[in-house]
Amino acid sequence: MHSNPLLQKFNTKYATAPFSKIKNEHFRPAFEKGIQLAKAEIDQIANNKEIPTFENTLVALEFTGDKLDRISSIFFNLNSAETNDEIQKIAQQVSPLLSDFANDIRLNEKLFKRVKTIFNKKNDFDLNTEQQMLLDKNYKSFVRIGANLNMEDKEKLRKIDKELSKSSLQFGENVLAETNAFELHITNKNQLKGLPEGTVEAAKMLAKEKQKDGWIFTLDYPSYVPFMTYADNRVLRKKMAIAFGAKAFQNNKFNNQNTVLNIVKLRHRRANLLGYKTHAHFVLEERMAETPDKVNKFLKDLMIKAKPAAEKGFSKVLTIAKKDGIKKIQKWDGTYYSEKLKKELFDLDDEQLKPYFKLENVIDGVFTIAGKLYDLRFEEIFDIDKYHNDVKTYKVTNINNEFIAVFYADFFPRKGKRNGAWMTSYKDQWKKDGKNSRPHISIVCNFTKPTETKPSLLTFNEVTTLFHEFGHALHGMLANTSYPSLSGTHVYWDFVELPSQVFENWCYEKEALDLFAKHYQTNEIIPMELVKKIKDSSNFLEGMATMRQLSFGLLDMGWHASESPETIKSVKAFELKAFADTQLYPDVKENCMSTSFSHIFQGGYSSGYYSYKWAEVLDADAFEEFQKKGIFDKEIATKFKENILSQGGTQKPMELYKNFRGKEPSVDALLKRAGLI
């Protein structure tokens, strides 16, 4: 094992990961050694006899464990993009080691004492904005897990944390069990009317797998969504919708009502113990929105403005439903009649658009646009290692031919790669000893593969996904900060989507589409009427979609900004009250959303669901600035690059945003773009 490539200095071009030399058996020993080295570095800082200074404590801490960081980023990126049973097993083994190591740092009292000493005397040190951010971030990361508590309260906190992690696991297991327990088994072909042939085919395959005749539909999205969108049979749509909404809200062992109440109470107690009024106050301290009042005001202002458009949209859907003799439209009618309305209004489908979006052309388009805006050049290179043959590797330089980043792109689905699309990094950017060490950035997607007769042709949705992930990649590639933990995408949760969402806007602009949307056979540029249809349909029923998002945000804040959650007795009654102002469809008594609202009770979105809309406001407001001067205006692009893309988390996001825009963002830009005003 002495020749473990993960533990050697990477003597590769640009010090990239030596994928071809790394074997699965190298990981576990590399993690163990990496943790051991990092621990020794931490002990050295904690036991330092010298008076604590910013350099000997904060900067030293920032650059500890760099070996472990590289090993972790390589391993966990592979676990997402190119995994197998062995890697998953190693992940199970090393995750507890890493979480113990993280706790060892955060519970190291000598180390905290040094950080606290500097924090308490921060005015004695002549710190710049970035250094202050690093100090605040480190101090808070100790305090927010209880470093300032006495022994008895620390013990209470540990107990709450254990119980919370058990409860949220239980929540997720119950939702999964309920999702898997339901199936709609159809044996009469007439009941499939309206469904696309791909959906019918998938249902047939599923029935075959389960050794049954006919067709089976489930509550998994790829089965549920097309059924609710296209199935003509209203009785069966109702059956599906009720089953979907009743997940973990039934009188059986998977009922999540008590789990929800328990999670909410535990989070509240935890926040109180740490000195916060509510769980939402605790979470929002580390967000751009800052306080529950601000979030609620944001959601309610948006609701008042979106409501008229939502009601107008709702009545249009009702008009279509009335043609089928439906007097009162229900939840199980919504998607079905919305789809009929969309077809009537726009007569647009993916099959018309795909020939204009050949993957290679779209990639060239993304590179050309990044070049026009930010002076970047992308050159495909073939002399660095990659983890799979499908991966493309690029050297990124600027206009002066200076090296900016390594860029990996991995586009097609395969076994061993999880669903979805994401941006990640194999190495962050930082500055040390007068050297600017540049980042290695990657995007991973699951796009339509080329066939024997056709290249990879993207749906418009896939085009926006590519632009979105590339927006995140620009945030990583253009990073220019001193410390790795403040570099690139290491920013507040409700700010991280600004660079990605703003970049999507170029997909809708004729001037940008003309650069890359060319028919793969004739090379003809996408016709203007198709561009117009893309643009017009992007706002379709936006009022209703906005109300839906806002209702989830308000429910989340209802649960987590409550100052007396122990008084809540009925999950359903509480939810109805939270939904009162946003409700369009009649309530279904058998249904409850909270009991399967995994984003907030299992994922990381508690007190954060609003951030989807928050980031949309930022991106609409920012793009408005580009539209005023021209979408390729150099001056605006440079301001965006210098104040947002290169700055990472070196200042509070609102300050960065104001430096770019000269003011706080306005909701009006989003309302205008969404056609709500």
Residue 618 is assigned to a structural domain of this protein? no
How many structural domains does the chain have? 3
What is the C-alpha R_g of the chain? 26
Residues 446 and 489 occupy one common structural domain: yes
Residues 48 and 134 occupy one common structural domain: yes
Pairing of β 403-410 and β 440-444: parallel
Residues 448 and 378 occupy one common structural domain: yes
Provide the pLDDT for residue 305. 92
3-state DSSP of 383-403: CCCCCCCCCEEEEEEECCCCE
CA angle 118, 134, 47 (to 5 degrees): 45
Give the Cα separation of 296 and 300 in Å (integer). Answer: 6
Residues 139 and 192 occupy one common structural domain: no
Which residues in the chain show pLDDT less than 50? 1
Closest by alpha carbon to 65, among 96, 39, 27?
39
Residue 589 is assigned to a structural domain of this protein? no
Provide the pLDDT for residue 522. 97
Residues 530 and 399 occupy one common structural domain: yes
- Domain with residue 48: its CATH number is 1.20.1050.40
Provide the pLDDT for residue 555. 98
Residues 117 and 234 occupy one common structural domain: no
Give the Cα separation of 578 and 317 in Å (integer). Answer: 25
Catalytic residues, which ones?
469
- Give the type of residue at 340: K
User: At which of 488, 521, 537 does a domain end?
Assistant: 537
Residues 373 and 494 occupy one common structural domain: yes
Prediction pTM value? 0.91
Residue 569 is assigned to a structural domain of this protein? no
Provide the pLDDT for residue 286. 94
Domain region containing 217: 182-245
**405, β-bridge pairs:** 396
Residues 362 and 505 occupy one common structural domain: yes
Q: What is the DSSP string of 484-551?
A: GGGSTT-S-TTTTTHHHHHHHGGGG-HHHHHHH-B-TTT-PBPPHHHHHHHHHHTTTTHHHHHHHHHH
Provide the pLDDT for residue 2. 62
Which tokens go with 536?
């017009």
- Domain with residue 492: its CATH number is 1.10.1370.40
Residue 455 is assigned to a structural domain of this protein? yes
Residue 32 is assigned to a structural domain of this protein? yes
Give the Cα separation of 508 and 535 in Å (integer). Answer: 6
Residue 576 is assigned to a structural domain of this protein? no
Residues 368 and 514 occupy one common structural domain: yes
* 8 Å CB contact between 97 and 158: no
- What is the Cβ-side half-sphere exposure of residue 653, based on CA atoms within 13 angstroms? 23
Residues 389 and 476 occupy one common structural domain: yes
Residues 100 and 190 occupy one common structural domain: no
Q: How far apart are the first and last CA of the chain?
A: 65
Give the Cα separation of 35 and 40 in Å (integer). Answer: 9
Give the Cα separation of 119 and 141 in Å (integer). Answer: 13
**410, β-bridge pairs:** 444
- What is the Cβ-side half-sphere exposure of residue 282, based on CA atoms within 13 angstroms? 22
Provide the pLDDT for residue 416. 86
Which tokens go with 339?
């789809």
Residue 628 is assigned to a structural domain of this protein? no
Classified as helix, coil or strand, 560 is: helix
User: At which of 509, 537, 565 does a domain end?
Assistant: 537
Which tokens go with 277?
């009024």
Residues 107 and 52 occupy one common structural domain: yes
* 8 Å CB contact between 179 and 219: yes
Which class for 583: exposed (0-12), middle (13-18), buried (19 or more C-beta within 10 A)?
A: exposed
Please state the length of the chain: 677
Residue 564 is assigned to a structural domain of this protein? no
Q: How many CB atoms lie within 10 A of CB 178?
A: 23
User: At which of 96, 124, 148 does a domain end?
Assistant: 148
Closest by alpha carbon to 620, among 658, 671, 661, 654?
671
Give the Cα separation of 436 and 157 in Å (integer). Answer: 41
Give the Cα separation of 378 and 405 in Å (integer). Answer: 10
